[in-house]
Structure 1
């Protein structure tokens, strides 16, 4: 029997993204890139707190010392939910004007990785040309080295529970590929890049991702109305239909990490004429995936 997918927060976001479980206080951080706004949702009470951000906010992670770290156009920033204060930690990323952060994830050592893309959207992918999106890493000392380049719409960052593999995707229709890298946890270095999964074999393109305790990769299939589980060997293990066209990001949460939460795009970004089929587009959804998840640690910066 297919799991029930429930809307736990009818948020009406325009571009819901970046959902992540904060194990310290058992709440979910998520963003609306287009608003721009940062949210914190408590599944136990249904309360959703919202803070307006000074610029486009691509990603968020719980912070080891409390609060959160967000990727804004100003740079990597610390956010204090008690005061609403935003403090710039490093301005190295997202780099040149016209760029913003997109998807991000904290590795098992507490380093926050995130990619960048043009605010106006990616350019058309020309044969033989690379995109201008970059991948950065925020260290505990707040330095932020550039790690990879050549992306159109960077997405799908995730790290295997055993720290041995880093995953990364590009959502651009001409690319729609997920790669795997060998990952050296001590140095924070990815190597041996290879194709993990070509999403042309499924309905949706790759957007945000989450890992489960078995080391399987869960992909939000944007434009495909689906969430997909892929084994470490790159095989589709499970496809779960969701009631929204454009799921964007995933996070395992709950006290036992046995609930999968999903953000999505809302009005203005879904296909015109499809509104009646997805009246809660822009909300936060939850489902029982039938497995236990993995939650990244907080950011150490």
Structure 2
């Protein structure tokens, strides 16, 4: 059985972990805090954002893009920590926006699940938007069943997105203009609800599963390579290399429904040994 360690306790609802600049960055949605956590579990609050959800991913120049989901905006974090407007997403979808991933050209892909989960709206089709470096935004894919975690392959050729309500990882080819082509199922994962995802250097993918209380490593086609089980819902995951050691980071929290999502501090940042380091940035 894989050894799981609690690196940080007392979060409300941790999400969107990213291994960036040799450190783990993390969003605590419930506390509205952007955190950096070191290898000893010491946390530093480096920003606050009054939005739910909010997610991050670095641009090629190292600056972070930040999705202010409930505000329907994409922001950019400057080196001094200030947040500046980057793109207005309201014309594309008036529901909360979710995850973001950036490619090697400075394009960003942002998804909207298409309904407001936190107020109990019935599920609706989600979408994917492209935001180019000049801040222009356009829809590049629709009819997604709760689009969630995303990743781009190291060659910059393929975008992967977890469809939580369809139990699959969906792939798209990235066109020269940033558009998405060749939609296909990368991995069908029956019985799972994939949330946050992370690619490793061997081409496998980890996905977090809230109802399954686990993180699962799969290869293209859906073969399960490894499962890490925990005592609460797994919302997202990231791979990093603290002290050069491949490590899986997992954000987990007790989940009893939207009504109590931010009522208690059951959130944890967990770690477990990983068989491969993170995939290279595209």
Paired with 1:225 and 1:213, the residues of 2 have a C-alpha distance of 24
Which residue matches 2:101?
A: 105
CA deviation map 1:161-183 (0-9, x unaligned): 233332112212xx222212233
More relative contact order in 1 or in 2 (CA 8 Å, sep 6+)? Answer: 1
- What SS does structure 1 have at the residue aligned with 2:6? strand
* TM-score under structure 1 length normalisation: 0.79
Q: Given the alignment, which residue of 28, 31, 54 partners 1:32? A: 28
Compute the TM-score of the two structures, normalised by the length of structure 2: 0.84
* Partner residue, 2:171: 180
- Contact 1:31–1:57 (CA<8 Å) still a contact in 2? no
* 1:287 paired residue number: 272
From 195, 198, 202, the equivalent of 2:188 is 198
Instruction: State the match for 1:20 in structure 2.
Output: 18
Does the CA contact (< 8 Å) of 1:37 and 1:57 recur in 2? no
1:1-301 equivalences in 2 (<5 Å): 2-13=1-12, 15-23=13-21, 26-43=22-39, 46-49=42-45, 51-65=47-61, 67-72=63-68, 73-80=71-78, 82=80, 84-93=81-90, 95-97=92-94, 99-117=95-113, 118-121=115-118, 123-125=121-123, 131-172=124-165, 175-184=166-175, 186-200=176-190, 202=191, 204-241=192-229, 243-255=230-242, 256=244, 258-266=246-254, 269=257, 281-296=266-281
Residues in 2 aligned to 1:45 and 1:265: alpha-carbon distance in whole angstroms:
17
Q: 1:267 to 1:120 in 2, by over 3 A?
A: closer
Q: Which runs of 5+ in 1 are unaligned?
A: 126-130, 273-278
Seen in structure 2, the aligned counterparts of structure 1 residues 170 and 93 have a Cα distance that, compared at 3 Å, is: farther
**3-state DSSP of counterpart to 1:283:** strand
Q: Would the aligned equivalents of 2:37 and 2:43 in 1 still touch at CA under 8 Å?
A: yes
Rounded Cα–Cα distance in structure 2 between residues aligned with 1:288 and 1:22? 19
Instruction: Report the Cα distance in structure 1 between the residues aligned to 2:204 and 2:135, rounded to whole angstroms.
Output: 31
What is the alpha-carbon root mean square deviation over aligned residues? Answer: 2.9
SS at 1:145 equivalent? strand
Q: What is the Cα deviation at residue 81 of structure 1?
A: 6.8
